[in-house]
Amino acid sequence: MSLTLFNSLSRKPEPFVPLHPDRVTMYVCGPTVYNYVHIGNARGPVVFGILARLLRRHFPRLVYARNITDVDDKINQAAIEQQVPIGTITDKFAAAYREHMGALGVDLPDLEPHATAHIPQIIAMCERLIESGHAYAAEGHVLFAVETYPEYGQLSRRSTDEMLAGARVEVAPYKRSAGDFVLWKPSTPELPGWDSPWGRGRPGWHIECSAMCEAAFGETIDIHCGGIDLQFPHHENEVAQSVCAHGGKPFARYWLHNGMLNMDGRKMSKSLGNVFRIDEVLANHPAEALRLALMSAHYRQPLDWTEGLIEQCVRTLDRLYGTLRELASIQVGAGAIPETVESALLDDLNTPQALAALAQIAADARRASDDAERARLKSGLLAGGLALGLLQQDPAAWFARGTADGGLDAAAIDARVQERQAAKQARDFARADAIRKQLAEQGIEVEDTPAGPRWKVAAK
């Protein structure tokens, strides 16, 4: 089985072959830490995290970097408003980012480069671009000269002419050409800045990713991932800077772009204000259901974020964990990932198909009567779940989810369930039903089994 990835560069699925057989390199554009991120920001980390796990299974070594951009005008603005150094802002939100991603089951990358730790590399890259004629200094700025890179626009499929013709933004007077973008810009005394050949200043938006990729991986990386909204201008500019700084060597060989999360059919975005912060969503829903929701559509498709979607994911997990609960007595060790799940993932990360395969395995497992067969299927279910970052908790923990912090006390629920059981055994069904109804009103569903009663937190 081999991995196929849809490459934004060619707009086609391509077999993935790493540049060096012994090492795969992958870079995901991480957050600019000026605020809490929203649930849409988690889609890339979740699906590309699944890709990272997949690559680790199929190649001897993966080095996966996800950056933190910790210098930026929005950070500066927040720092000025709160009268604190930018580090106070960036430390706080970088920590929150890690915490929220962790809650969603996103693995930490191997490397987490910070832009402010790469200022010398950024300056060096600017100098090289100036020396080679691809950039120029003007009024304390360093600008990339788009016209020196004829392939500019290749990734996002747009021509320089069209962009210049359609330019709506006022062009700064120091730009030679309207499409030129800033690599370095001057800082006023109240803004953070670093000494440079062009005076005290700070990096522009795109250069940090180029510099960090180079620092971590060298001139050419295998896979570069990010949201489709970053394709232009961010990724296009990264390509231009890196290729020109490296004498024409390719920058990223495979570009992967994830689709946007929508709210009522519109992109969830900070500028539109139609966002759900991750901590808000986590407060109201099981994290694993949110993770499942983020992979419920193929990563390149847009995904409508609704309460109904989350509820459906909770029910889906109820069923999968229900299967595992039924198989609780079957002992299994670590197993191989079922072929149906793995082949779906190898086909451009087709998570919906992988989930369908998982559902099929669960159904087979419930029907199987032979213990050896049940063990095999349970092992496959757990291994397939692990590949997706799902199904790794104790089923009992899933069904009792949120009782401790949701104002419900598991021991008290147990006591009520026992009361009902006693009433039942006394054939006082009216009382038993009254207790069950009361618990249902608290969101607890009681189920009777041959082994005695059990309960779970109901899907909303």
Partner RNA sequence: GGCCUGGUGGCAGAGUGGUCAUGCAGCGGCCUGCAAAGCCGUGAACGCCGGUUCGAUUCCGACCCAGGCCUCCA
Among positions 70-99, residues that touch RNA (CB under 7 A) are 74
Q: Binding to RNA by residue 4, rule CB under 7 A? A: no
The reply to whether 443 sits near RNA by the rule CB under 7 A is: no
Residues 402-431 that bind RNA (CB under 7 A): 424, 429
d(C-alpha 456, C-alpha 443), whole Å: 8
Neighbours of 46 (CB within 10 A): 23
Residue 44 or 380: which CB sits closer to RNA?
Answer: 44
Question: Are the C-beta atoms of 228 and 214 separated by less than 8 Å?
Answer: no
Check binding of 433 to RNA (CB under 7 A): yes
| Residues whose CB is less than 8 angstroms from the CB of residue 355 and which lie 6 or more positions away in sequence, other chains included | 292, 295, 296, 316, 388
Burial class (CB in 10 A: 0-12, 13-18, 19+), 135: buried
68 lines the binding site for RNA (CB under 7 A): no
Q: Site for RNA (CB under 7 A): which residue of 106, 119, 129, 268?
A: 268
Q: Which is nearer to RNA, 242 or 258 (CB)?
A: 258
Answer for which of 4, 132, 154, 156 binds RNA (CB under 7 A) is: 156
Burial of 329 (0-12, 13-18, 19+ CB in 10 A): exposed
Q: Which of 232, 332, 368, 416 binds RNA (CB under 7 A)?
A: 232
> How are the residues of the chain apportioned to helix, strand and coil, as percentages rounded to the nearest 5?
45, 15, 35
Binding to RNA by residue 233, rule CB under 7 A? Answer: yes
Min CB(72)–RNA separation in Å? 7
In angstroms, what is the minimal distance from the CB of 286 to RNA?
15
Distance CA 239, CA 109 (A): 22
Given the complex with RNA, which of 177 and 269 has the nearer CB atom? 269
Closest distance between RNA and the C-beta of residue 215, in Å?
20
Considering the complex, what minimum distance in angstroms separates the CB of residue 351 from RNA?
A: 8
CA–CA separation, 285 and 314 (whole Å): 9
For residues 395 and 328, the answer to whether their CB atoms sit within 8 Å is: yes
359 binds RNA (CB under 7 A): yes
Rule CB under 7 A: say whether 312 interacts with RNA.
yes
Q: Which of 2, 11, 273, 441 contacts RNA by CB under 7 A?
A: 11
Sign, CA dihedral 323-328-331-333, equals positive
The DSSP call for residue 235 is I
Q: Are strands 141-144 and 135-138 parallel, antiparallel or unpaired?
A: antiparallel
Q: Does residue 308 belong to the site contacting RNA (CB under 7 A)? A: yes
Distance (Å, whole) CA 241 – CA 251: 9
Of 207, 182, 189, 195, the closest CA to residue 80 belongs to 189
By CB under 7 A, the residues from 322 to 351 that bind RNA are 322, 326, 347, 350
Task: Pick from 18, 31, 338, 384 the residue near RNA by CB under 7 A.
Answer: 31
Query: Does 432 help bind RNA (rule: CB under 7 A)?
Result: yes
The residue type of 14 is E
- Work out whether 448 is an interface residue with RNA (CB under 7 A): yes
CB nearer to RNA: give 100 or 127: 100
Q: What's the closest the beta carbon of residue 167 comes to RNA, in angstroms?
A: 6
Which range, of 40-48, 78-86, 113-121, 394-402, touches RNA by CB under 7 A? 40-48
Q: Which two tokens stand for residue 81?
A: 């408003």
Query: What φ, ψ does residue 438 adopt, rounded to 5°?
Result: -60, -45
200-219 residues near RNA, rule: CB under 7 A: 205
> Is residue 303 a contact residue for RNA (CB under 7 A)?
yes
